[in-house]
Chains A and B, each alone.
Chain A
């Protein structure tokens, strides 16, 4: 929105979006601010992914802290670190996806397909298989 539009909007009594801060201008250099509801919804989706990521980190710590599963210590450690690192990847992916969705909305483009969903599905399936093997062998 250029200055002219902004002035016209003010004269009509329409609220004009406050300017982005320096970081906002840097990572979203162009496009138009979408409806505030969409920006907020994108933010909440990001936060939901962050909580998913925190659940993975907590699960990894719990796996090691409570010596669950009757696994050999070395293997347990590998699993624990793996689960925690999946959590870190989800957190980083959440930030990247928030940026991609916001960019798409600023240009009125279709939203990007979530690449993280099939990954998470595979991880959950692998976890279930490991759990089943542990139950059968213990």
Chain B
């Protein structure tokens, strides 16, 4: 059921004048997909920086393997949960003003992963 006051961008409700079985999305901008893609390319950047650090750390690399494995597992977990969220939202982002819970755990988790990666790199630069 489409709310009469559901404001959307021009074209969002263009399905002819017949009432549709499905509510017209208020947003044609593929927000959930864009957000998940942003998570994906951030994960790629993280992998590149992590591998660069490992490759260059040489003899210290073995000692850092645990940090690397934990970081990779954490990032895979973030991707899996944000992907699930995007899929859930993808079909449901239909009512104007409908909210979604902020991805607090993922955002704080990624902040922590990147901060640990940076500090580890700083320590490695000092030691090597």
Interface residues of A, Cβ cutoff 8 Å to B? 12-21, 23-24, 27-28, 32-37, 39-44, 46-48, 50-51, 53-55, 57-58, 60-62, 64-65, 77, 80-81, 84-85, 87-88, 91-92, 94-95, 98, 102
Contact = CB atoms under 8 A, between A and B. Distances in A.
B118 interface: yes
Interface residues of B, number: 49
Contact of B115 (A20, A40, A64, A91): A91
Given A44-B34, A44-B35, A91-B118, A64 B102 contact: no
A97 B29 CA distance: 24
Contact of B49 (A37, A47, A54): A54
Contact of B101 (A33, A64, A81, A87): A33
Given A14-B98, A32-B99, A81-B126, A65 B56 contact: yes
B61 to A, nearest CB: 13
A88 B119 CA distance: 7
**Secondary structure type dominating chain B contacts:** helix
A67 B35 CA distance: 37
Nearest to B122: A84
Contact of A36 (B31, B41, B46, B48): B31
Nearest to A91: B114
B92 A47 contact: no
Contacts of B95: 14-15
B125 interface: yes
Contacts of B98: 14-17, 35-36
Contact of A43 (B38, B94, B124): B38
